[in-house]
Structure 1
Amino acid sequence: MSSTLTRVRAAYARIDAVDRPEIWIDLRPRAEVEAEARVIDERVSVGERLPLAGRLLAVKGNIDVAGLPTTAGCPSYGYEPEADAPVVARLRAAGAIVLGTTNLDQFATGLVGTRSPYGAVRGAYDPARISGGSSSGSAVAVALGIVDLALGTDTAGSGRIPAALNGIVGLKPTRGLVPTAGVVPACASLDCVTVFARTLPEAEQALSFMASPTSRDLPPLPQRAPGPWRVAVPAREQLGELDEGWAEAYEAAVARLDAAGADIRVLDLAPFTEAAAMLYEGAFVAERYTAVGNFVDKAIVEGDESLDPTVAGIITRARDIPAHRLFADTDRLAVLRTRALAELADSDAVLLPTAPGHPTLAEVAADPLGSNARLGRFTNSTNLFDLAAVAVPAGEANGLPFGVMLVGPAFTDDRLARIAALLRPDTRLAVVGAHLTGQPLNPQLLSLGARLDRTTTTAPVYRLHALRTDPPKPGLVHVGEGGAPIETEVWHLPPEGLGRLLSTLPRPMTLGSVQLADGTHVPGFLCEPSALENAEDITKHKSWRSYLTHRQNQLRDADTPPPGTTN
Structure 2
Amino acid sequence: MNLFLFDDDTVPLPPITTSQAVQRVLSVFDALSRGLGPAPSVRLRCREDVLVEAKAVDERVRAGEHLPLVGTLVAAPDQPVVVGRLMRAGAVVAGHTVPGAPSPGTEVRLETLSKLDALLVTEPPSACRGVVGFVPTRGLLPASESGITTVLARDAAVAQQVAAAVTGPDPRSDSATFSRHWPESVRLSAGDHPRVGVPDHAFLAGLPPAEAARLRTTAETLRVAGAVTDEIDFGDGDVLCRRRAALALRDHDALLLPQGRGAGSLARLVTRLDTAAMLLPVRDGGGVGLLTKPFDDQIALDLAGLLTGSQAPSPYPDVGVRLIAFGSFLRGQPRAVELERVGARFTGFATTSRHYRLVLFEQDPPEAGVVPTDVPTEGGPLLGEEWLLSPAALGEFVAGLSAPMRLGTVDLADGTSAPAILCDPAVAEGGVDLTAWECWRAYLRHLSAVRPAAAKAGS
Q: What's the TM-score bracket when you normalise by the shorter of the two chains?
A: 0.5 to 0.7
Q: What is the rounded CA distance, in whole Å, between the counterparts of 1:225 and 1:390 in structure 2?
A: 16
Name the residue aligned to 2:105: 111
Residue by residue over 1:303-335, the C-alpha shift from the partner in whole angstroms, topping out at 9 and shown as x without a partner, is xxxxxxxxxxxxxxxxxxxxxxxxxxxxxxxxx
Q: What is the rounded CA distance, in whole Å, between the counterparts of 2:237 and 2:182 in structure 1?
A: 24
SS at match of 2:93: strand
Contact 2:182 2:295 in 1 (8 A): no
Taking only aligned residues, the RMSD between alpha carbons, in angstroms, comes to 3.6
Name the residue aligned to 2:256: 351
Identity among equivalent positions (%) equals 30
SS at match of 1:266: strand
Query: Please, which runs of 5 or more residues in structure 2 have no aligned partner?
Result: 1-17, 170-178, 312-345, 351-459
Q: What is the rounded CA distance, in whole Å, between the counterparts of 1:37 and 1:54 in structure 2?
A: 7
Specify the code of the residue in structure 1 equivalent to 2:131. Answer: I
**1:176 lines up with 2:139 in the alignment:** yes
Residue by residue over 1:261-306, the C-alpha shift from the partner in whole angstroms, topping out at 9 and shown as x without a partner, is 1111012213998776xxxxxxxxxxxxxxxxxxxxxxxxxxxxxx
Name the residue aligned to 1:485: none
| Counterpart among 404, 423, 433 of residue 288 in structure 2 | 404
Compared CA separation, residues 199 and 355, structure 1 to 2 (3 A): same
Contact 1:253 1:394 in 2 (8 A): no
Q: What is the rounded CA distance, in whole Å, between the counterparts of 2:150 and 2:101 in structure 1?
A: 16
Deviation for aligned residue 1:101: 2.3
**1:229 lines up with 2:197 in the alignment:** no
Name the residue aligned to 1:150: 119
Specify the code of the residue in structure 2 equivalent to 1:351. Answer: L
Matched residue pairs, number?
A: 290
Compared CA separation, residues 194 and 173, structure 1 to 2 (3 A): same
1:97-496 superposed matches below 5 A: 97-102=92-97, 109-112=103-106, 132=107, 140-142=111-113, 144=114, 146-154=115-123, 157-158=124-125, 161-162=126-127, 164-165=128-129, 167-180=130-143, 183=144, 185=145, 188=146, 191-212=147-168, 214-215=179-180, 228-239=193-204, 241-243=206-208, 245-270=210-235, 337=243, 339-355=244-260, 373=262, 376-396=264-284, 401-424=285-308
Deviation for aligned residue 1:256: 0.8
Q: What is the rounded CA distance, in whole Å, between the counterparts of 1:246 and 1:235 in structure 2?
A: 13
Compared CA separation, residues 17 and 353, structure 1 to 2 (3 A): farther
Compared CA separation, residues 35 and 384, structure 1 to 2 (3 A): same
Residue by residue over 1:204-257, the C-alpha shift from the partner in whole angstroms, topping out at 9 and shown as x without a partner, is 111211212754798967999876111101213325754452221221111111
Contact 1:170 1:391 in 2 (8 A): yes
Deviation for aligned residue 1:395: 2.4
Compared CA separation, residues 18 and 45, structure 1 to 2 (3 A): same
Residue by residue over 1:465-516, the C-alpha shift from the partner in whole angstroms, topping out at 9 and shown as x without a partner, is xxxxxxxxxxxxxxxxxxxxxxxxxxxxxxxxxx989x9xxxxxxxxxxxxx
Q: What is the rounded CA distance, in whole Å, between the counterparts of 2:96 and 2:188 in structure 1?
A: 41
Contact 2:279 2:288 in 1 (8 A): yes
Specify the code of the residue in structure 2 equivalent to 1:388. Answer: A
Residue by residue over 1:393-419, the C-alpha shift from the partner in whole angstroms, topping out at 9 and shown as x without a partner, is 2321xxxx2221110110000111112
TM-score, scaled to structure 1? 0.45
SS at match of 1:255: helix
Deviation for aligned residue 1:381: 1.7
Q: What is the rounded CA distance, in whole Å, between the counterparts of 2:70 and 2:182 in structure 1?
A: 35
Q: What is the rounded CA distance, in whole Å, between the counterparts of 2:223 and 2:278 in structure 1?
A: 19
Residue by residue over 1:423-462, the C-alpha shift from the partner in whole angstroms, topping out at 9 and shown as x without a partner, is 24x679xxxxxxxxxxxxxxxxxxxxxxxxxxxxxxxxxx
Name the residue aligned to 2:3: none
Q: What is the rounded CA distance, in whole Å, between the counterparts of 1:27 and 1:17 in structure 2?
A: 15
Query: Please, which runs of 5 or more residues in structure 1 have no aligned partner?
Result: 65-83, 113-131, 277-335, 357-372, 429-498, 504-567
Name the residue aligned to 2:44: 27
Compared CA separation, residues 141 and 95, structure 1 to 2 (3 A): farther
Deviation for aligned residue 1:177: 0.9
More helix by share: 1
